[in-house]
A = this chain, B = another copy of it.
Amino acid sequence: MRKSLPAKRATLEDVARVAGVGAMTVSRTINGHPYVSEETAKRVRAAIRQLDYRPNHAARMLTGQLSRSIGLIVPDLADTFFSIVSHAVQETARESGYLVWLAASNDDPAIEAAQVEQMTHHPVDGILLVPVDSKDRYLKTLASGATPIVTIDRPIEVATTDSVGVENRAGARMAVEHLIHHGHARIACVATNTHLLTIKERLIGFEESLRHARLPMTKALRLSNRDAVKPALAEMFASRNRPEALFTANNASTIWVIEALREMKIEMGKHVALVGFDDVDFFTLITPPVTAVRQPAAELGRMSARLLLQRIKGEFTASSVRTVLPVSLVIRESCGCYKRTD
């Protein structure tokens, strides 16, 4: 029962009074300005501790300071890939004393735009964005605004901003070439969300690999919902061009295909080889373990956050950069490789 009073928060003035100095001296002490004598600074710090003083964030903002916060907008936070990215962003930001406002766009450009809007006015010092539609008009306005933007995973097409992504084309080629290496000639590709730039790049990589190996080109199977998978796959496997190998260009398609193959009693790695794009930990637990292209999700989050923070601090003034991180092929067994469990 110590302080039952409302206990209004202490202000600069209060601290100044206790320390026997002016308010500006307190402000300077807090902000590490030079020209505060060590002796005075000590008294001020003591007063701050005594009163448990915390600067009022709103008042600071009002004088045009940085908010020391950034916004992060991802399509779906429940998606493993983005949750890892988000975690890394959050960690990196925290290390620099920055906090993260998080929003999920649910793959809806309107929600995305609204969240961005709210953030820019809330003020955040910068925004990390995974754009749903890389051509959305609002992005143009956004990019020309004062708030630094870094896009993650997908660049935007209607303006130039910093962006951090992964080697989609090269990754797809690694995957497909691995299948070719196994001697497969009839290789099919399955994907969802084919409107996304990332997926398009992977499809290009797929086609390049086939062309390069002079293998028969096949049109990628584009799936939009889970229920469509089984019939489509059934048809594919019933045709005379029954594929010997599958390249699934994203996580959802990989999982949907695995499910469908199982129901169709087609064994991966035996009846058909499979390599997916986007590796997740539990692929080791599937029978057979799934071979997939691993994206450096955490690295993606870290890099983009660091880049944004540099932009905010003005440490980085070059014109916009596009960073592309390498991916790696994690070879397990669904591709037909046999892994000793020794």
Contacts and interface: CB of A to CB of B under 8 A. Distances in A.
Contact of A69 (B122, B255, B298): B122
A265 to B, nearest CB: 8
A214 to B, nearest CB: 35
Contacts of A87: 76-78, 104
B285 A57 contact: no
Interface stretch (A25-33, A58-66, A311-319): A58-66
A115 B90 CA distance: 11
B255 A282 contact: yes
Interface string A85-100: 0110011001001011
A60 B285 CA distance: 52
Nearest to A97: B118
Nearest to A9: B121
Contacts of A54: 121
Contacts of A263: 341
Contacts of A79: 83
Interface string A70-86: 00100011111001101
Contacts of A119: 99
A86 B77 contact: yes
A96 to B, nearest CB: 12
A77 to B, nearest CB: 4
Contacts of A109: none
Contact of A90 (B58, B94, B104, B262): B104
A327 to B, nearest CB: 18
A64 to B, nearest CB: 9
A102 interface: yes
B91 A104 contact: yes
A106 B91 contact: yes
The interface centre, meaning the residue of A78, A111, A121, A258 with most chain B CB atoms within 10 A of its CB, is A78
Interface in A239-295: 255, 258-259, 262-263, 280, 282, 284-287
A255 B58 contact: no
Contacts of A58: 58-62, 123
A101 interface: yes
11 contacts: A56-B62, A61-B61, A69-B122, A72-B102, A87-B104, A90-B102, A258-B285, A262-B341, A280-B282, A286-B287, A287-B287
Interface of A: 54-62, 69, 72, 76-80, 83-84, 86-87, 90-91, 94, 97, 99-104, 106, 111, 115, 118-119, 121-123, 255, 258-259, 262-263, 280, 282, 284-287, 298, 341
